[in-house]
Amino acid sequence: MIIGKVVGSVVSTRKNENLVGNKFLIVQPLSSMKGQGNNLVAIDNVGAGIGEVVLVATGSAARIGCGMEQAPVDAAIVGIVDDGDMFE
């Protein structure tokens, strides 16, 4: 599980059929906030927005956590941190 901040979004007009209708967000892990190049793209099924602190599952847990066992998903936002001020 990774804690990160949503820093942007990704728009993809062509994608795997199992991913159609899903939103993708760019998440910067909080452990790398001082560095660069460690961002990841995560599928969002919880309605997160830019600037929010989120919980991200990776690997097979990402597919299971978002109910997309047959989709090529490696990172999924599975929660929004309610008290994100402590991370800023």
pLDDT digits (tens, 9 = 90+) for 45-62: 899 999 999 999 998 787
pTM to 2 decimals?
Answer: 0.82
pLDDT digits (tens, 9 = 90+) for 18-42: 778 889 999 999 876 555 568 999 9
Q: What is the mean pLDDT of residues 64-80?
A: 80
User: Please, what's the b/e burial string for 34-73 (b: 16 or more CB within 10 A of its CB; e: otherwise)?
Assistant: eeeeeebebbbbbebeeebbbbbbeeeebbebbebeebeb
Bigger pLDDT: 62 vs 5: 5
CATH for the 2-13+27-87 domain, from 3.30.420.40, 3.40.50.10320, 1.10.3720.10, 2.40.50.220 = 2.40.50.220
